[in-house]
Amino acid sequence: MIIGWIRRFWLVVAVLAGLGALAGYAAGTLIPPRYTSYSDILLDPNDLQLVADDLYTRVASGEAQLIDVESKMRILTSISVLGRVVDQLDLAGDPEFTDADAAFEPGADARIAAVRTLGERVRVSREERSYVVTASIWAHTPEKSAILTDALVSAFLVELAAVESDGARNASDALNQRLAELRNDAAKAETAVVDYRREHGLTANRDGQLSAQSAVQINTQVDTARETLIAAEARYAALSSGASGAGAQESELLAQLRTEYAAAKQKADALATTLGPRHPSLATARAEQAAVQGEVDQEVSRIVEAARIDLQRARDVFDQLSNAAGAQLGSVFSDEQAQLELRQLERTATSTVAIYEAYLTRAQQVAERSQLNTSKVRVISPAMAPIARSYPPRTMLLAAGGLVGGLLAGLVLAAGLGFLQYFLAGTRTRPAAPPRMRAA
């Protein structure tokens, strides 16, 4: 029965089969072709070790190696790498990479649109238990596909080198910033040693003590200052006591004034024996005696003040020399506390300078390391222009598929039409129901 239906509607089957073949042929002809090129990259996680203590540690465990490979695969499809490809090939001005976005976003940035379109065309895969990664990009022409894939791989290698170089450069900058602090610390430590030697009178000889000759000279000066102080104290005590004749040897003026005072006093006493207390001559003699006495008192005060100043000066000089002698004598006799502190300061200075030199050497090594590329990532299969398109399938294959699809659709449609015709014919020939049943 079904075969009969199909024979009855064979024209429908033939028409749909032909339409399917035409549709497949049209699809293979009209759909823009896509050509995909492939490139294999070996992402070896173990980098080259060009220096003994490299800045980057080498990956040891298998899981860590796989994580490193997966991270590099992510870099391969990152915006930085895609942006390098867009800038290198000027894809921002290529209608193939910007028209689709411009149609929907008229104000969109052409470079961003190109990066987005390129990212949609990139595919990266890795076989299990392998460090070989396959990168592919499709385009509408074989040559362009190969150019895009090669540019992607080249940008990826440049990005990896830039990552290592930037890391080394950042480490070098951090070390250089720390070097400035270490340089200041080393200078402060060495200055502290020099200042401590100067403050405690420690020379830079083998035992760090003053020479015996310097100590003898200081002691001689102290003895001289002590004798000067004793003489100044005796002189000041004699002048301050107000003893008769004190200070006469200090000043010829004082001796002369005292002689004049004695003469004036003798004259006043002689007049007092013959004249009354209110006699003008006696009053004049008393006034002359008082004036001479005032000059004597002034000269004595001046001499006493000068003696006091000399005493204070002698005491200051003695105290200074005594302090200096005590400090230097303590150094001569190996003041253990000072020596311990000095040795501690020297050890601190030595260790600080050693750390600074180590950092300086390391900073120079890291600066040179930023110029080296130790990555073992290499391209084992460069991209080649594909011979056949990857999408859509070949035109003949699409036409054959359309033919088969149309044939199947025609068979189904012919069977459906035959069944529908059979159903309608059966409905017309079926007997009517009794009146009682119709009433019910």
pLDDT at residue 247, rounded to an integer: 46
Residue 335's contacts (CB-CB under 8 Å, 6 or more residues apart) are 200
Band the pLDDT of 155: cuts 50, 70, 90. very high
Q: Find tokens 């014919």 and name the residue.
A: 425
The token duo for 433 is: 């129901």
pLDDT at residue 118, rounded to an integer: 92
Q: Residue 304 in contact with residue 190, Cβ under 8 Å?
A: no
- Any idea where the domains of the chain sit in the sequence? 1-31+407-422, 34-173+379-406, 212-333
Range of weakest confidence among 101-115, 244-258, 264-278, 381-395: 244-258
Q: Find tokens 């860590």 and name the residue.
A: 64
Band the pLDDT of 349: cuts 50, 70, 90. confident
393 burial class (0-12, 13-18, 19+ CB within 10 angstroms)? Answer: middle
Q: How far apart are CA 296 and CA 5, in angstroms?
A: 165
Q: Which residue has the higher pLDDT, 125 or 312?
A: 125
Is a pLDDT exceeding 50 seen at residue 88?
yes
Residue positions counted in the chain: 440
For the whole model, what pTM was predicted? 0.51
**Average per-residue pLDDT for the chain:** 75
| pLDDT tens, position by position, 199-224 | 766 665 544 444 556 667 777 887 78
pLDDT at residue 79, rounded to an integer: 92
pLDDT at residue 249, rounded to an integer: 46
Is a pLDDT exceeding 80 seen at residue 147?
yes
CATH architecture of 34-173+379-406: 2-Layer Sandwich (3.30)
338-352 average pLDDT score: 79
Q: Residue 372 in contact with residue 50, Cβ under 8 Å?
A: yes
Q: How far apart are CA 129 and CA 284, in angstroms?
A: 135
pLDDT at residue 335, rounded to an integer: 56
Report the 3 state secondary structure along the chain: CHHHHHHHCHHHHHHHHHHHHHHHHHHHHHCCCEEEEEEEEECCCCCCCCCCCCCCCCCCCHHHHHHHHHHHHHHHCCHHHHHHHHHHHCHHHCHHHHHHHHHHCCCCCHHHHHHHHHHHHEEEEECCCCCEEEEEEEECCHHHHHHHHHHHHHHHHHHHHHHHHHHHHHHHHHHHHHHHHHHHHHHHHHHHHHHHHHHHCCCCCCCCCCCHHHHHHHHHHHHHHHHHHHHHHHHHHHHHCCCCCCCCCCCHHHHHHHHHHHHHHHHHHHHHHHCCCCCHHHHHHHHHHHHHHHHHHHHHHHHHHHHHHHHHHHHHHHHHHHHHHHHHHHHHCCCHHHHHHHHHHHHHHHHHHHHHHHHHHHHHHHHHHCCCCCCCCEEEECCCCCCCCCECCCHHHHHHHHHHHHHHHHHHHHHHHHHHHHHHHHHHHCCCCCHHHHHC
Q: What are phi and psi of 37, to 5 degrees?
A: -110, 150
Q: How far apart are CA 21 and CA 406, in angstroms?
A: 7
149-164 average pLDDT score: 88
253-275 average pLDDT score: 65
Is a pLDDT exceeding 80 seen at residue 111?
yes
The token duo for 26 is: 């049209």
| pLDDT tens, position by position, 176-192 | 777 778 888 888 888 88
Ranked by mean pLDDT, the top range of 7-11, 78-82, 288-292, 356-360 is 78-82
What is the CB neighbour count within 10 angstroms for residue 13? Answer: 21
Band the pLDDT of 137: cuts 50, 70, 90. very high
| pLDDT tens, position by position, 16-73 | 888 888 888 787 777 888 899 999 999 877 654 445 555 445 555 667 788 888 888 9
Range of weakest confidence among 56-60, 343-347, 401-405: 56-60
Q: Residue 15 in contact with residue 409, Cβ under 8 Å?
A: no
pLDDT at residue 337, rounded to an integer: 65
434-440 average pLDDT score: 47
